[in-house]
Amino acid sequence: MSRMTSQLSEKQLFWIVFAVLLAVLPQVHRLPIWFLPMTVAVVSYRFYAQIYQLKQTYNRILTVLAIAAMIMIIYSQGIGLSREISVTILITMTVLKLLETYTMRDALLVVMLCYFVTMTRFLYSQDLLLVFYLFGSAFVTTHALSVLNFEKTKRWFDTSQLRATAGSLALAVPFAALFFLVFPRLGAPIWGSPDIFGEGKTGISDTMSPGSIIELFMDDSPAFRATFKDHKTPPKNQLYWRGPVLWNFDGTTWSRKKHNRTRTRIQQYSERETYQYQIELESTGQKYMFGLDYVVNSPSGAFLLPDSILYSPQKINQLRHYELESLLLDRFYQPLDESDKLLLLDYPANQNQQTRRMMHSWQQETKKPLEIINRALTWFNQDEFYYSYSPPPLSGDVIDQFIFESKRGFCEHYASSFTIMMRMAGIPARVVTGYQGGINNGEYLLVKQSDAHAWSEVYITDGDKPGYWLRVDPTSMVAPERVERGSRQIMDEKRNIIDYDWIRNFKESMDRYRYRWNQWVRDFNVSKQQALFEVLGIDHRNGKTLAMMMAGILLITGLLSLIPIWWLNRKRYHTLQRIYLELVAKVRKNSQLYSLKNQGVETFVTQMKITYPEAKTQLNHFLDTYLAARYSNNANERKQTIAHLRQTLLKIKQIIKH
């Protein structure tokens, strides 16, 4: 029986299955619901077959299972060539392959598939914690490969073999880092459009209804990070990060207006009044970008819509960096078309009649917009309104129910109600969604999904004077601590069973490492590599130069890889052997005596006593001590004997020297 067709041991099967499960585990949540029970069934049967020495599964049965799996994949994910379908097929077939993995040949194929499955996880995310997990998965896969080729003992967890695997991976890390830095990068992913890349949480969307921002409040994952130039950070109550602006209201849900033009940059301002900063935006799967009100001009690869939304032509499916400059204006002057003004006064006429009557009475008392705005804010502040992330559900006339009945809500309830109140009073108004606040996390400001917020903008006109937008945050009237201290600081109740301060502090500490990881690794793109080449004096525009550089690196790494191979295969000597060889080396010039070095210790020492009679006593002592150490069963006694042997060797060397 050849090695490739030899049967697997239980130890070998265990490590192969362990490698498959670790490679598959981080992708289970995105796979069809039937995948997990299928995996449990396959693994259970395979171990059962190994223990009871059942025959290998028939090929016909495997064919039927493979066809059934393909049908289930098509049913759950459709037909086509996409990232999701391709990864699902690869993972499913890797698991099913276990059913016919009885020989070394099949086992080696499964191990190779595990490496591919592990790498596919990077198509969705390259987060730092995930990298640590996948490195562990690669370690187990490599150890499975080692067990297949060198099964030294029957122990499933052989520490010496585990250390050897760790050493092999440790040797690979410098080479991986070198190729990461110098291997020529493409301007775009080799798999095509970046739209199929990345894994992001939705975060703020272009619609808002009661409860939509509450869902984000439960999520402490990072939305983006802001690094301010010269550490010049605005006051916390001015940190309004603008996102989608909502114009349309159908009675429950707010939505965006579609624009066919862009906003021009702000022309007249002093640079001393601006804040300059860089945003590191996590992937969202959407096109909205965030900046402080009001962004002076759009960054490269984005543009400003008329309602000051920062918009990207492509979906943000991977980490994105951009630089901004913002003016924290109390009033933003901007002309408003009549058609837009009518849209900003629109509301469902057949709903919320109680609120409508109240606003009509206020309008009768005063026509001044600012007085109506202040009266509404005072009403929110002095009436029995509460800021709560668990308000009662609303339906039907949601504004009436909230204002006159429940009086408990989150920021979206207050922003929505206030905006409709203004429209009913004849004041153009809209809802702005985004984030408010942030946590100082060392070098940068960390803005989480839980910092999601909604506020209002009203359009003020006074006769022939230019109209302007005024930000109004009704939530600050009910819970001013929300704006001053942050969303989480004002809630006494826990959001979930793991909502503890020490867990949040740990996550924020980890985010500092993640920030460094993003800067040094995830954001190492073509331009940064070209800058590195320039520092090294390499002409990155010359293809021949790059080809020669890569050939040289491959040659050098190939030669360097021979060093550990030589080291692992070098001839190793026991401590006693090394001491004996030192004695032999001392008489190297005596060719007749030196030729006896392979005849055994007793023969060699006997001949030395004839050649060097003056050292006879020490040589006898050396031989006795050597044999005592060689055949001693007591480790401590052997250690002491070896120490005496070294002293005896030194005395012999001194005698022979003279």
Query: Quick check: helix, strand or coil at residue 295?
Result: strand
Residue 23: pLDDT above 60? yes
Q: What is the pLDDT of residue 135?
A: 93
Q: Quick check: 38 and 98 in contact, CB under 8 A?
A: no
Backbone phi, psi, residue 148, to 5°: -65, -35
Q: What are the φ and ψ backbone dihedral angles of 382, each rounded to 5 degrees?
A: -100, -20
* Across 219-245, average pLDDT: 92
Model pLDDT, residue 200: 45
At residue 270, the pLDDT reads 66
What local confidence, expressed as pLDDT, does residue 250 receive?
A: 92
Q: What is the mean pLDDT of the chain?
A: 84
pLDDT given for residue 431 in this prediction: 97
- pLDDT tens digits for 498-527? 667 778 888 888 899 999 988 888 878 777
**Nearest partner of 376 among 498, 298, 478, judged by Cα:** 478
pLDDT, tens digit, for every residue of 443-501? 999 999 999 999 999 999 987 788 999 999 999 998 887 776 666 666 556 666 666 77
Token code pair at residue 493: 């109740």
Residue written as token pair 């031989």: 623
Peptide bond into 294 cis (omega under 30): yes
Q: Which tens digit of pLDDT belongs to each residue from 341-379? A: 999 999 998 999 999 999 999 999 988 999 999 999 999
Reference 162, options 135, 138, 139; nearest CA is: 139
Residue 523's CB is within 10 A of a number of other CB atoms, namely 15
Strand partners, 207: 255
Q: Is-contact 415 454, C-beta < 8 A?
A: yes
Sign of CA pseudo-dihedral 349, 355, 357, 362: negative
**Residue among 624, 589, 591, 588 at smallest CA distance from 606:** 624
**What is the enclosing helix (H) or strand (E) of 551?**
helix 543-569
Tokens linked to 475: 């939530």
Reported confidence tier of residue 193, pLDDT bands at 50, 70, 90: very low
Largest Cα separation within the chain, whole Å, is 129
Range scoring the smallest mean pLDDT among 95-109, 201-215, 300-314: 201-215
Q: Quick one: tokens of 480?
A: 């001013």
* Distance in angstroms (rounded) separating the CA atoms of residues 246 and 271: 30
Residue 229 pLDDT greater than 70, yes or no: yes
> In this structure, what token pair is assigned to residue 218?
């439960």
From 287-296, 342-351, 561-570, the region with the lowest mean pLDDT: 561-570
Q: What is the pLDDT of residue 198?
A: 44
Average pLDDT of the segment spanning 247-262: 89
Considering 170-174, 332-336, 600-604, the range whose residues carry the highest mean pLDDT is: 332-336
User: By the 8 A CB rule, do 151 and 9 touch?
Assistant: yes
Which is more confidently placed, 18 or 610? 18
Is residue 208 within 8 Å of 248, Cβ to Cβ?
Answer: no
* Per-residue pLDDT tens digits for 588-644: 666 566 666 666 777 777 877 877 888 888 888 888 887 887 777 777 777 777 888
- Number of Cβ within a 10 Å radius of residue 196: 13
**Residue 658: pLDDT band by 50, 70, 90 thresholds?**
low
Q: What is the mean pLDDT of residues 546-568?
A: 72
For residue 196, what pLDDT is reported? 42
Q: What angle do CA 544, 547, 549 make, to 5 degrees?
A: 110
Q: Name which residue leads in pLDDT, 585 or 180.
A: 180
Summarize the confidence of residues 566-581 as an average pLDDT: 68
Higher pLDDT among residues 110 and 567, named by residue: 110
